[in-house]
Amino acid sequence: MSIKFLNKHFYINLSLVFFIFISDRLSKIYVINESTKNSNDYILESNYLNIRLIWNEGVAFGLFSFDDKVLYHSLTLLISIIILVIFYMIITNSGLKKYSLILVIGGALGNFYDRIFFGAVPDFIDFHINNFHWFIFNLADIFITLGILFMIVLEIFDKNNNEKN
């Protein structure tokens, strides 16, 4: 007896998640090592982009950062439940929506790994114009954001198609 979702597409999808996770891990390891070598949080400084290590204990882009360990662990538990829901959604969806969810889960697993093993997520990409700095983020955040943007676009087009019919 074979399991329905263990087919060629499953392994391709799993490879994509693994690629996103490994890309994120390698970028974070590099930045952490460079920061440790230089004993400086700034690795690169330019007019519009800084590579600067910070440790984020909050949610996306440092929102809801706090020192309370009970709240931190509760948030981590909530994130693990959301990851399980996204895995279920990947299995039950198809097409572009599935690939949008794969982007989200790959990034979410990268940040979840850091929450578990470091107690915080290393963020390091700092875009800025003069003194206006955007939130500092990492590669996993990029994949999560792209996945969500793709899902929003898909929903808009799907809604437009349903309204025409």
> Residue 111 has what pLDDT?
94
3-state secondary structure 81-108: HHHHHHHHHHHHCCHHHHHHHHHHHHHH
Helix (H, G, I), strand (E, B) or coil at 148: helix
Q: How many CA within 13 A on the CB side of residue 102?
A: 21
Q: Is 123 a catalytic residue?
A: yes
Rounded to two decimals, the pTM is 0.84
Q: Mean pLDDT in the chain?
A: 86
Give the mean model confidence (pLDDT) for residues 145-155.
95
Q: Which residue has the higher pLDDT, 62 or 99?
A: 99
C-alpha to C-alpha distance for 87 and 33, rounded to whole angstroms: 32
141 is catalytic: yes
Which residue in the list 68, 123, 126, 158 is annotated as catalytic? 123
Which one from 24, 114, 126, 141 is the annotated catalytic residue? 141
- Residue 39 structure tokens: 């004993």
